[in-house]
Amino acid sequence: MSGYRLDKGGYIDRNTPLTFSFEGKQYSGFDGDTLASALIANGVSVIGRSFKYHRPRGILGAGLDEPNAIMQIESGPHTIPNLKATGIELYDGLQANPVNAWPSLAFDALSINSLLSRFIPAAFYYKTFMWPHWHVFEPTIRKAAGLGVSPNFPDPDRYEKRFVHCDVLVIGGGPAGLLAAQAASRSGARVIIVEYDPEWGGSLLNDPKEMDGTTSDTWIQKIVDELQEAPQTTVLNRTMAFGVYDHGLIGLVERVTDHLPVSSRSGVRQRIWKVRAAHTIIASGAMERPFVFPNNDRPGIMLASAGETYARRYAAAPGKRVVVVTNNDYGHYCAQSLQKMGVEIVAIADARLQKNTLLPGQIDLNNYPVFFGMTVTDTSGRHRVRSAQLHAIDDSGKAISGRSHNIDCDTILMSGGWSPVVHLFSQAGGKLVFDAKAQAFIPTSCEQNIVCVGAATGEYSLAKNLIDAAKAGSNAASKSGFKCGSMAVPSVEGSEASTVRAMWQVDVSAIGGSEQKAWVDFQNDVTASDVKLAIRENFQSVEHVKRYTTLGMASDQGKTSNVNGIGVMESVLKKPMAQVGTTKFRPPYDPTTIGAFAGRRVGENFAPLRALAAEQGHKEAGAKFDDYGGWKRPVCYLQGAETEAEAVQREAKAIRHGVGIFEASPLGKIEVFGPDAAKFLNRMYVNIMSTLKAGQCRYGIMLDENGVVFDDGVLGCLKENHFLVGTTSGKAAAIAEQFEEWLQCEWTDLDVVTDNVTSAWSIINVNGPNARDLLQKFDCTVDLSPDVFKHMQMREGRLAGVSCRIQRVSFSGELSYEVAIPWAYGASFWQALISEGAAFGVCPFGIEALMILRIEKGYLHVGSDTDGMTVPQDIGFGRILAKKKSDFVGRRSIMRPDAVRKNRRQFIGLENISDESPFRVGAHILPPGKVAPPAHTQGWVTSSVYSPNTGKPIALALVERGTERYGEEVQIWDLGESRRAKIVRPGVFDPEGRRLHV
């Protein structure tokens, strides 16, 4: 043995040495190592510092239950925080660093935390740092108690998602999982089997057996080959099932390239599989529990199964002088197996009395001292354990003074019994019960089609588990309608009868020990005394104790700590484990990369914007784009060196003096057909729509059932029983959906069909005094003459040979045509308008200029000038309401006393009489006599701009009793400034509306 590497054995490739660095120091390992096994082989015992006290910590486990060996790997954009060294496959050039040590592992400046106060009790931070506010202290505390750091760069890796359906999903590639998959696969069912590890075989990798007269390695290989060849079966290693959701949905994450050196990775790094499985078989095995005794956290103290895994799978000896502490037979098997591999066993302490064990003949008790009825009560050693103190214990588990041993060692292997891995079963809604024989929570029933097999059931006899697994595989396939033949189950050697003595915590009160350093949760630094303190402070429920102490809330989700923690609660609450119960497990089973969840939806694809028909034309005209309700639309068009604000002012002025063009394609367009179309629209809109004649348009507002103004738009009648409903750009889809909801769910008697044609038609708005002259340059079958095509009318026809729908409607107060043509022609129509318009000085304009124009006219914008409390009476629809007798959506709600009270906020205009700059949107109107808050607000500014066509700032507002107060001067509280305004009618430009009718 050189260092800690055993001379032979292991699944490592000794011909492929690899170098890696840990905390800046170079080490070497072999292909097939994990980072953890390579560190152990190099004799590195301190691999991290604990979360709260910064105590030196070593590797505890060999799988995803590892609480201590938390790593930050690589640097720059490829860095990944908080990975467990036990789950990282070693590759050449791997860089790893511990996460909780500053400046270094050997000297951690913050370990002073463990000297400061006696100890930091549960919830100490929350209790101590309450004033003035927890958030003031939190950043510093988090740094001291932090985990890794997230990268400061965009993620350079690619991820993808895949959706699949299958008949049988098997989670876990140990003996039970493999056999279940084989049984299901042979029926021809669609089977998926997943395994977190790169290697198949599970427990057989640690504990090889003779199976069917051959080695377990050969048996595994044969079965994996068969599954891989089966056409309907998908075999995924390096894949973790992280979550089980409703109706058989299981989330998997496949690590495609994580095991390769960063420089040789290409393609997708990780892939999320969303599997909808008709039946799921969980074969996730069991995890070993540590013991809770004082100073059980020193480096060199490890789970017994982990010690065996390192020696067996990776040929890395867990230590050179090993003490095994156990309460069940496994400790003996483990010790014997390690000794055979050349690891020195100094002693075994078995909590059971010898008469209570069923140790078979193959266990030789003469190879090393075996102390029955004794357990570890304390340890010594700073950077690695140096000795174990053993005491005899009485029937209640209390250490007895006097009868003790002190044993020199460099390693203590703990076998505190086994807990089935029930996380996924619990996530699925499955129920767990405490089983006294197994001394563990075991799975029982589940509403979903999910069963557990193998050690995950709490049964540890391989022979029995294989029979049950084959049955489970066949059952699942037959329930999906596949025929299963009989399955031969391999015969296996050995007997697995065992007893286990409950040992949740070693009671050291009689020997003067301190449980303040008896760790339950290693990663979150929760001790037995923390759990007891929480109970003393009256946190009785297991869910409350968990949150108060943070027990089980670290990135390992308490895999090694939950059951022991519940055991400690049992002793204090004096109620059995079964009644204390366990917390519910939630996804993910182990932290999962956020990038994998995002998949391809990153950057531009995160929330893709919809493009206008003439996007290229807008670019060429100098458009500056922004996101307006999911559409990428021009804010304005920049000329020369002008600023955005200057461009908006220029455009708003140009339209009133010539002609402008604006792409309005996102305006919602919903066609409504049928004999009851008019009746239906009457019920959807506040206005009467049934009187609309073919070729006419009408402005309408729509409420929700609470009576709140929801949308507005122009409705046109194409012909009898055929309407074109215009909606605002952001609401097209929502309103189309509402129409259908009312028609399908409430008014099923109405004979109406709706069709959302928003993206079928592009719209270019030609706007301004010269609009007609410009449009007349085109070959159009629609007569635009003012005496035949009037304001608020619409026509259908052909423009340049293409069908068109033209509405003469205006949001600017100028002569304005909204010309709709099929989407594909929008871009060329825009180009033609630019070239034909050159003679008129045509001005492309963006949304902001249109907003100025509508504010000058006092036209309201739903969502800006209205809010979630605005009813139609507030915005001048009182008269229309009075005329309409029939019911419509929201009608009853606007009859409520609150909707008809006299002091409602009403839509009005404001004239700035203090200065020349616009009020800020949101500025408050104060009651008479008040110049500053505190004061009751009478309303607020809802729209505000500088108006280039009147040469002054103008605003719209919602103000209490506003329409009774025209001419009144009011005080404005504008972000700390006191200003004055006069209440006026909305619409300061062309108030008579003459320009609309030219």
Toward other proteins, which CB reaches closer, 46 or 189?
189
Angle between helices 562-573 and 528-536 (to 10 degrees): 50
CB of 161 to other proteins, least distance (A): 12
- Shortest distance, CB of residue 247 to other proteins, whole angstroms? 4
Give the up-direction half-sphere exposure of residue 540: CA atoms within 13 A in the CB hemisphere. Answer: 5
CA distances from 823 to 578, 820, 828, 835 (A): 67, 8, 10, 20
Query: Among 429, 630, 674, 876, which residue interacts with other proteins (rule: CB under 8 A)?
Result: 429
Q: Which runs of E-coded beta strand occur in 563-641?
A: 610-611, 623-628, 631-637
Query: Taking contact as CB under 8 A, which single stretch among the options 83-91, 246-254, 530-538, 838-846 is the one that binds other proteins?
Result: 246-254
- Cβ of residue 892: shortest distance to other proteins, in angstroms? 4
CB under 8 A: which stretch of 72-80, 210-218, 244-252, 555-563 binds other proteins?
244-252
CA distances from 289 to 66, 331, 520, 560 (A): 11, 12, 10, 6
Q: What is the dihedral of CA 398, 400, 403, 406, to 10 degrees?
A: 60
- The shares of helix, strand and coil residues in the chain, as percent rounded to the nearest 5, are 30, 30, 40
The residue within the footprint of other proteins, chosen from 215, 893, 937, 963 (CB under 8 A), is 893
Q: Residue 424 CB, nearest distance to other proteins (Å)? A: 16
Closest distance to other proteins from the beta carbon of 591 (Å): 21
- 897 binds other proteins, rule: CB under 8 A: yes
294 close to 378: Cβ distance less than 8 angstroms = yes
Please check whether residue 680 is in contact with residue 660, taking contact to mean a CB–CB distance below 8 angstroms.
no
CA dist 561 to 87, 522, 527, 554, 881, Å?
19, 8, 10, 10, 67
In whole angstroms, the minimum distance from the beta carbon of 739 to other proteins comes to 11
Looking at 370-378, 689-697, 742-750, 976-984, which segment touches other proteins (CB under 8 A)? 742-750
Quick check: 32 binds other proteins (CB under 8 A)? no
Choosing from 722, 891, 980, 982, the residue that interacts with other proteins (CB under 8 A) is 891
Rg of the Cα atoms in the chain = 38
Sheet of strand 722-727: strand arrangement: 697-703, 709-719, 722-727, 668-673, 753-756
Between 192 and 855, name the residue whose CB sits nearer to other proteins: 192
Instruction: Name residue, tokens 């044609």.
Output: 757
Q: How far is the CB of 680 from other proteins (least distance, A)?
A: 15
Write the interaction track for other proteins spanning residues 928-947; mark x where CB under 8 A is met and - where it is not: --------------------
Specify the residue, 394 or 737, whose C-beta has the smaller distance to other proteins: 737
Does position 610 bind other proteins by CB under 8 A?
no
* Residues 275-314 close enough to bind other proteins by CB under 8 A: 276
- Span from 73-81, 610-618, 685-693, 893-901 in contact with other proteins (CB under 8 A): 893-901
Structural tokens at position 353: 């009395």
Does the footprint of other proteins cover residue 394 (CB under 8 A)? no
* Element (DSSP H or E) covering residue 244: strand 239-244
Question: Of 2, 15, 263, 748, which lies in the binding site for other proteins, with binding defined by CB under 8 A?
Answer: 748
What residues between 679 and 718 interact with other proteins by CB under 8 A?
705-706
CB of 400 to other proteins, least distance (A): 48
Residue 705 or 720 with smaller CB distance to other proteins:
705
Under the binding rule (CB under 8 A), the answer on residue 755 touching other proteins is no
DSSP annotation of 130 reads: -
Closer residue to other proteins (CB): 161 or 790 = 161
- The kind and range of the H/E element at 714 are strand 709-719
List the structure tokens of 306.
């982990």
Question: How many other C-beta atoms lie within 10 A of the C-beta of residue 616?
Answer: 13
Give the shortest CB-920-to-other proteins separation in angstroms.
Answer: 35
Residue 245 binds to other proteins (criterion: CB under 8 A): yes
Stretch that binds other proteins, among 385-393, 513-521, 577-585, 738-746 (CB under 8 A): 738-746
Considering only the stretches 364-372, 576-584, 745-753, 791-799, report the one whose residues sit in contact with other proteins under the rule CB under 8 A.
745-753
Among 160, 212, 496, 740, interactor with other proteins by CB under 8 A:
740
Q: Under a CB-based contact definition with an 8 Å cutoff, are residues 981 and 913 in contact?
A: yes
The residue ranges of DSSP E strands in 172-222, in sequence order, are 191-194, 210-211, 214-215
Beta carbon of residue 31, minimum distance to other proteins (angstroms, whole number):
39
Interface of this chain with other proteins, residues 860 to 889, rule: CB under 8 A? 887
Q: Which stretch binds other proteins (CB under 8 A): 64-72, 201-209, 399-407, 734-742?
A: 734-742
What backbone torsions phi and psi does residue 644 show, to the nearest 5 degrees? -60, -45
Which of helix, strand or coil describes residue 246? helix
Q: Of 741 and 915, which CB lies nearer to other proteins in the complex structure?
A: 741
Least Å from the CB of residue 933 to other proteins: 33
Burial class (CB in 10 A: 0-12, 13-18, 19+), 11: middle
Compute the least distance from the CB of residue 745 to other proteins, in Å. Answer: 5
What are the φ and ψ backbone dihedral angles of 541, each rounded to 5 degrees?
-75, 145
Alpha helix positions (H), 444-586: 462-479, 528-536, 542-549, 562-573, 577-580
Choice between 369 and 429, CB closer to other proteins: 429
Size of the site for other proteins (CB under 8 A): 24
Element (H, E) at 219: helix 216-229
What values do phi and psi take at 389, rounded to 5?
A: -100, 125
Which range of residues in 228-236, 247-255, 545-553, 904-912 is near other proteins by CB under 8 A?
247-255
Handedness of CA 848, 851, 853, 856 (dihedral sign): negative
Q: Which range binds other proteins by CB under 8 A, 55-63, 294-302, 587-595, 894-902?
A: 894-902
Q: Return the residue of 364, 741, 969, 977 that touches other proteins, per CB under 8 A.
A: 741
Choose, by CB under 8 A, the member of 112, 594, 895, 932 that binds other proteins. 895
Under DSSP, the state recorded for 743 is I
Give the shortest CB-893-to-other proteins separation in angstroms: 7
For the bound state, the minimum distance from the C-beta of residue 338 to other proteins, rounded and expressed in Å, comes to 46
- 433-452 residues in contact with other proteins (CB under 8 A) are 447
Position among 745, 838, 882, 975 found at the interface with other proteins (CB under 8 A): 745
| Segment interacting with other proteins (CB under 8 A) among 44-52, 134-142, 635-643, 735-743 | 735-743
Closest distance between other proteins and the C-beta of residue 251, in Å? 10
Q: Can the peptide bond before residue 98 be classed as cis, meaning omega within 30 degrees of 0? A: no
Piece of 355-363, 573-581, 744-752, 928-936 that binds other proteins (CB under 8 A): 744-752
Site for other proteins in 248-267 (CB under 8 A): 248-249
Residue 841 amino acid letter? G
CB 889 within 8 A of CB 742: yes
Shortest separation between residue 575's beta carbon and other proteins, angstroms: 24
Count the Cβ atoms, other than its own, within 10 Å of residue 893. Answer: 16
Nearer to other proteins, 619 or 892 (CB): 892
At residue 34's C-alpha, the angle toward residues 28 and 37, to 5°, is 70
CB of 431 to other proteins, least distance (A): 11
Residue placing its CB nearer to other proteins in the complex, 142 or 896: 896
| Tokens at 53, concatenated | 């006290």
Residues 782 and 805: their CA atoms lie apart, in Å, by 9
Residues that bind other proteins (CB under 8 A): 245-249, 276, 429, 447, 705-706, 737, 740-741, 744-746, 748, 887, 891-893, 895-897
